[in-house]
């Protein structure tokens, strides 16, 4: 039995972020799937692990942590000597740039892309009506962010430099879902962003997450 346990759903964006990191680092884990439809994430036993009732949660021995980006950073740091060096821990300048672009993902990229995925994909799954005004507004915001990315990726293969890092990896799950919507053109219309996306989404770690989810 794996020492590391992850509570979540295989293809929820935040759970996928954690699973991709664990696989990239070569860490064995056990996924404990929660049924959100019946409210398993709101039960006292789970709220004792995650007081906000959200997924995922990671247990590693006597440590229990939540928030997917924090979990990914913990995994990348604890297992820094195996798998891909996602934090560039041996180079303080490169590590600082990785931190900058992980913050960009969280603060600039995630708000508009998560809104778009909700409006264009999630609502339809539940029979809800898409708010086109929100789509238009968030598309404009994400487009401006992606213009910055396009310029950055003209100079570097990846966001933090010419090396794959946590900064790139954190983008994968939500972008994967965006690419299933009409807003995919926000990615494909920018050649360097498109090439970057095709590169990071084809990594074996994320492909394994997809394969496991569909098994």
Asked whether residue 8 carries a pLDDT value surpassing 60, the answer given is yes
Asked whether residue 215 carries a pLDDT value surpassing 80, the answer given is no
Domains of the chain, by residue range, sit at 4-83, 92-203
Token pair of 110 as six digits: 């995630």
CATH second-level architecture of 4-83?
3-Layer(aba) Sandwich (3.40)
Q: Do 4-83 and 92-203 share a fold?
A: no
The phi and psi torsions of 32 (rounded to 5 degrees) equal -105, 105
Token pair of 185 as six digits: 């053109």
- How many alpha carbons fall within 13 Å on the CB side of residue 184? 9
Class of domain 92-203: mainly alpha
Per-residue pLDDT tens over the stretch 150-171: 999 999 999 999 999 999 999 9
Helix, strand or coil, per DSSP, at residue 64 = strand
Could you tell me the pTM of the whole model?
Answer: 0.95
Rounded Cα gap, residues 65 and 74, in angstroms: 9
Per-residue pLDDT tens over the stretch 104-141: 999 999 999 999 999 999 999 889 999 999 999 999 99
């Amino acid at each position: 039995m794996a020492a590391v346990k992850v509570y979540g759903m295989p293809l929820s964006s935040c759970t996928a972020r954690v699973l991709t990191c664990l696989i990239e680092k070569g860490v064995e884990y056990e996924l404990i799937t929660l049924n959100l439809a019946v409210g398993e994430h709101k039960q006292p036993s789970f709220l004792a692990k995650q007081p906000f009732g959200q997924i995922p949660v990671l247990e590693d021995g006597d440590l229990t942590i939540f928030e997917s980006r924090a979990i990914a950073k913990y995994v990348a740091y604890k297992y820094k000597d195996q798998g891909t060096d996602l934090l560039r821990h041996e180079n303080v300048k490169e590590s600082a740039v990785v931190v900058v672009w992980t913050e960009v993902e969280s603060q600039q990229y995630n708000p508009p892309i998560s809104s778009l995925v909700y409006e264009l994909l999630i609502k339809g799954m539940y029979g809800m009506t898409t708010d086109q005004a929100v789509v238009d507004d968030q598309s404009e915001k994400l487009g401006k962010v992606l213009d910055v990315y396009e310029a950055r990726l003209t100079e570097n293969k990846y966001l933090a430099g010419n090396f794959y890092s946590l900064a790139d990896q954190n983008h994968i799950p939500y972008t994967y879902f965006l690419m299933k919507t009409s807003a995919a053109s926000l990615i494909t219309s920018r050649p360097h962003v498109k090439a970057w996306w095709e590169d990071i989404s084809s990594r074996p770690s994320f492909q394994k997450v997809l394969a496991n989810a569909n098994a």
